Amino acid sequence: MTKVFNYLSEAFEELRSNVTWPEWAEVQRLTIIVAVFSVLLAMATWGIDEFFAKSIAGFFNWLKA
């Protein structure tokens, strides 16, 4: 159990002393960029899914006729 405690305390100490944290304004800007691109990627994935779903449905309707 002491190994786990030592590992966690050393990890937190490294986060405090050795990590360079970005400024709050940069964090906000990058968060907005990630959110926008996530929404765009989700919309693109949805659009491609709809296209293929309608294409496959049209193909099977064509086979029925």
- Over residues 10-65, the pLDDT tens digits come to 999 999 999 999 999 999 999 999 999 999 999 999 999 999 999 999 999 999 87
pLDDT score, position 64: 87
Centre a 10 Å sphere on the Cβ of residue 38 and count the other Cβ atoms it contains: 10
pLDDT score, position 45: 98
Please give the Cα distance from 36 to 40 (Å, whole number): 6
Please give the Cα distance from 52 to 17 (Å, whole number): 51
Please give the Cα distance from 32 to 42 (Å, whole number): 15
pLDDT score, position 63: 92
pLDDT score, position 38: 98
Residue 4 predicted with pLDDT over 90? yes
- Give strand ranges (E) for the chain: none
Please give the Cα distance from 23 to 39 (Å, whole number): 25
